[in-house]
Each structure stands twice: as C-alpha cells, then as structure tokens.
Amino acid sequence: MTPQTENLYSTREPIFPKRVYGSFRNLKWAIMAVTLGVYYLVPWLRWDRGPNLPDQAVLVDLANRRFYFFWIEIWPHEFYFVAGLLIMAGLGLFLFTSALGRVWCGYACPQTVWTDLFILVERWIEGDRNARIRLHRAKWSTRKVTLRLLKWGAWAIIGVATGGAWVFYFADAPTLANQFLTLTAPSVAWITVAILTATTFVFGGFMREQVCIYMCPWPRIQGAMMDDSTLTVAYRDWRGEPRGKARDATAGDCVDCNACVAVCPMGIDIRDGQQMECITCALCIDACDDIMGKLGRDRGLIDYLALSDAPAEQAGQKPRPIWAHILRPRTILYSVIWAGFGFAMMYALFIRPEIEMTVAPIRNPTFVTLSDGSIRNLYEVRLRNKHGEARQFGIHVSGDPTLRIDVEGTPFETITAAPDATHKLRVYVTTHGQSNAAQAEETPIRFWIEDFGNGDRAAVDTIFNGTGDLR
C-alpha cells in the first residue's frame, strides 16, 4: 500500500451492523426500553400538589422559576441542589469509567441508545447487514427509493417524538400536546421540537459513530479515568492467535469468521486491540460467544478484560474475579465522595423549612430621626411561603424591650403570605430617643414570625442601628 498523502479528508465508510443475539444484546435492549420509556413517559406522570400548583410530576417551570420533581420543589435560590446533582453525575461517570471503562458510552449514552433504535428500524425496513449492503450498492430503483423514504419517514417520526418529549418537561404536557394538535403552541416550542427533530434525525441516522469519534469530548477525557485494572472489551489474542480454520489443530481459537467485525456499530475490529473508537457495547462478545458455542469451544475469546489480566492469564494464573476489578481503592474513593454528596443533599433537603425569611436592613440611611426624637430603622423582609395555600403569620421583634414594630401599609402585625410565592414587606422598627437601642451604635435584634395555623416559627438575627451617641 502506498501512502495517500494527497487525500486530506476521508469520506465516511458506511457501517452495516449485523443482528446479534446474546446476553449483552438483551441487556442493551432492556436498558434501551427503560431509558427511552423514562424519557418519553415521565412528562405524563401526574402528581397532586393542591389547587394552586401544577400537577405534573416532573416539570421545569421556567416562566414561574420553579422546578418540580415529585414531592420536591426547588426554588431558584436552591439551585445548589442542581449543582450537587451535576457533581454527583460527574463523579458517577468517574466511578463507572474507572471500574468498567466506557460503560456509559456503550449502554446508556443517548447517542448510543437512539442509534441502536435507528439501526433497529433500519433493519426492520431494509433487512439485515447483507441486504442493507446490497441495497446500498444497488442503483436507484423504485424499491430502493420506497425503502429509503420509509426508513427516513420512520426516523423522522422518532425524531419528532424525541423533540416533542423534551418540550413536555418545560410545560404542562397535556395542555402543550393539545396546543400542538390545534397548532396553537408557542413558537419557542415549535422551534425546540424542530431543532431536536433535526439533530435526532441526523445524529441517529447519518452521523452515528462520527459523533462519538469526532464530536464528543468524553472518549478523550476518560482515558484519564481508566487504568490497567479497568474492565474493557478485549480480545484474548494469546488464545485466538494464530487465526486459522476450525479443523486446523495448530491454529488458535479464532476462526477469523469476522462475526465480531460485522456486528460492530463503530466499524472496528476489536482484535486490533483497545482503540479510541470502541464504545465497549460488548456486542462483539455476544457474536464471538455464539460462534465459539457452535464450535464447542469455551466462550470468552472476546470478553470484558483488564489490561493487567493479560500477562497473568498468559502465565497460566486464574483470572481475577470481577469484584476484584471493581472494588479497588480508587472506585471506593469515588463511591464514598459520590455518596457523601448524596447524603449531604438528602440532609439539606429534609431540613428545608416550609417557610423561609430573609431580613435586609436598609442602610440608606441607616436610621431616621422622627419629630419626637424617636429612632426608626427600616427592614426589607421576604417571606417565602412554600405551601400550596395562603398562610397567616404574626411578626415580632425581640432584642430590646423598647422596640416597636410596624408593617408598611397595614396597622396590624399580621401578614398573609400568598401560596407558593415570596411575600415582600417593609417593616419599621422604632424606639424612643432615650433608649439604649436608640443611642447605641448597633443593637443585635431578632425577627420572629409565627404561623397562626400550625405554630411554625422562623427567626432571623439582624442589627438595629442607633445614633451612636452613647459611647
């Protein structure tokens, strides 16, 4: 072969993965069913939160700045829960990659799952590998056009469903579905569906392995996550080589049937060793095990193996059990950090109060002298009522017996906080001019609120500013 330096760009070699049967394929079907099921169906789950709140179980309500997840309701100032979840997702990815290599890529990544679904549809319409290769090479005919249009149509329907499901997470699903059917949905919903339909159609139908190889940063990052004890899909070359016919007693176990290459969705030969393109989907294991079974040989010519296993097995030692690969200081450390974040967030979630109060002393000016010499401070008080109904609160202040409290706009010390909303108040605290609080520079005080309904209390410490004449 002569080097082809004049070819600066390479054209994509089409890949026609063959149908394969086996335990890993079944596992992937199961994971596909669960992940796609969760994705498409979750927006339709209902969850009763009372009359004033949406009844969608999982809803990102951007307009009202609320995130609902079953019984949990996240307000914007609690965004750290989302940050915590992202940290946990990252650590989880580290954990799984250090133990099992690119298990995320091979089983759960949306690109893999949707590509798998698209290939399934492709096979239903155009047939298995050989039929697809023939169709690919055939000249354009009525049959080819029909099959292509059928396939693209089916892909487009999946794409629309994918984009459609996405927007249901951001609005009431039945309402929005009705709006789509009556062509009254907001334009942002149509645009989002259109973009996601296009990306699903192109990435799942045509880009496939190109997304993993050229577009995704994760394959390049995760090299740092793996080590020589990480389980990846590998070929036992010391058992398989030299390749030869099944009847040849001098040859290894590999009969060079190419089954592992035919089923590979990435279009590689796993017998060349671990390579960047491999997403460890394990379909080649199923394919090879099938052939080995037919030949009456041990399964596992291609198998989940760690780099460190190769020399040990070649030396005739027993292979290390799977738990020894998975339970290592590194993975245990990842698990501990991951669980630590999880427990911390659970704790933060359970100690969340139903009512929150913040008090901001107004410092422009710090105090006001009234005509009778009294000193008055102003506070901006915010009550976050996380209940689904309005609540009545009493508000009090403690710290100096001379302090009086007045709520702007009402003669009463009773506040009605609207349901699921932040109630903003301006609160005056006044003391007569001869009191300690009036003459001191600062006096620590405490605001109290009490729910008249259930006796819930909340308190915030703050400062009362005086004239500072008392020194």
Partner 1 sequence: MDEPRVDDLTGRPTMGHEFDGIEELNTPMPRWWLWTFYLTIIWGIGYTIAFPAWPMISGATKGLLGYSTRGEVSADIAAHEASNAALVADLNAVDLTEFDPQSDLHRYAVARGASVFRAQCSQCHGSGAAGAVGYPNLLDNDWLWGGSLDEIAYSVRHGIRNETDFDAHYSEMPAFGDILAREEIETLVNFLPSLAHADWDSAGGVLFADNCASCHGARGLGDRSLGAPNLADAIWLYGGDRESLRMTLINARFGVMPAWGQRLTEEDVRAVSTYVHSLGGGE
- Rounded to whole angstroms, the Cα distance separating 270 from 444 reads 71
Helical residues (DSSP H) of 309-370, grouped into ranges: 309-314, 322-326, 329-350
Q: Residue 455 has which token pair?
A: 């006796």
Task: Indicate the DSSP class of residue 52.
Answer: T
Asked if residue 5 binds partner 1 (CB under 8 A), the reply is: yes
Closest to 388 measured CA to CA, from 48, 56, 58: 48
Q: Which stretch binds partner 1 (CB under 8 A): 4-12, 41-49, 217-225, 391-399?
A: 4-12
Closer by beta carbon to partner 1, 145 or else 368: 368
Q: Which stretch binds partner 1 (CB under 8 A): 57-65, 229-237, 314-322, 405-413?
A: 405-413
Q: Residue 274 has which token pair?
A: 């671990």
Among 19, 129, 144, 376, interactor with partner 1 by CB under 8 A = 376
Closer by beta carbon to partner 1, 10 or else 187: 10
Cβ at position 365, least distance to partner 1 in Å? 4
Tell me if residue 243 falls in helix, strand or coil: coil
Contact map string, positions 450 to 469, toward partner 1, x by CB under 8 A? --------------------
Q: Which stretch binds partner 1 (CB under 8 A): 6-14, 19-27, 64-72, 167-175?
A: 6-14
Q: By the 8 A CB rule, do 376 and 429 touch?
A: yes
Closer by beta carbon to partner 1, 220 or else 318: 220
Number of residues that bind partner 1 (CB under 8 A): 30
- Cβ neighbours of 214 (radius 10 Å): 9
Cβ at position 372, least distance to partner 1 in Å? 6
- Measured at the alpha carbon of residue 159, what is the angle toward residues 58 and 135, in degrees to the nearest 5? 150
Asked if residue 369 binds partner 1 (CB under 8 A), the reply is: yes
- Rounded to whole angstroms, the Cα distance separating 282 from 289 reads 11
Among 378, 383, 397, 425, interactor with partner 1 by CB under 8 A = 378
Closer by beta carbon to partner 1, 20 or else 425: 425
Q: Phi first, then psi: give them for residue 434, nearest 5 degrees.
A: -95, -5
Pairing assessment for the beta strands 391-398 and 414-417 based on DSSP bridges: antiparallel
Q: 178: Cβ–Cβ under 8 A, 6 or more apart, which residues?
A: none
- Rounded to whole angstroms, the Cα distance separating 323 from 312 reads 17
Closer by beta carbon to partner 1, 103 or else 381: 381
Asked if residue 3 binds partner 1 (CB under 8 A), the reply is: yes
Sheet holding 391-398, edge to edge: 414-417, 391-398, 442-451, 457-465
Q: Which stretch binds partner 1 (CB under 8 A): 75-83, 101-109, 334-342, 402-410?
A: 402-410
- Measured at the alpha carbon of residue 73, what is the angle toward residues 361 and 110, in degrees to the nearest 5? 130
Q: Which stretch binds partner 1 (CB under 8 A): 3-11, 238-246, 325-333, 383-391?
A: 3-11
Asked if residue 8 binds partner 1 (CB under 8 A), the reply is: yes
- Residues counted in the chain: 471
Asked if residue 7 binds partner 1 (CB under 8 A), the reply is: yes
- Rounded to whole angstroms, the Cα distance separating 228 from 231 reads 8
Q: Which stretch binds partner 1 (CB under 8 A): 107-115, 164-172, 312-320, 370-378?
A: 370-378
Closer by beta carbon to partner 1, 276 or else 295: 276
Contact map string, positions 185 to 214, toward partner 1, x by CB under 8 A? ----------------------x--x---x
Site for partner 1 in 10-69 (CB under 8 A): 10-12
Q: By the 8 A CB rule, do 149 and 205 touch?
A: no
Tell me if residue 381 falls in helix, strand or coil: strand
Site for partner 1 in 348-367 (CB under 8 A): 362, 364-365
Asked if residue 370 binds partner 1 (CB under 8 A), the reply is: yes
How far apart are the two ends of the chain, measured CA to CA in Å?
Answer: 95
Asked if residue 433 binds partner 1 (CB under 8 A), the reply is: yes
Q: Residue 21 has which token pair?
A: 């049967």
Closer by beta carbon to partner 1, 182 or else 364: 364
Task: Indicate the DSSP class of residue 160.
Answer: H
Closer by beta carbon to partner 1, 409 or else 455: 409
Return residues touching partner 1 (CB under 8 A).
Answer: 1, 3-5, 7-12, 207, 210, 214, 362, 364-365, 368-373, 376, 378, 408-410, 426, 428, 433
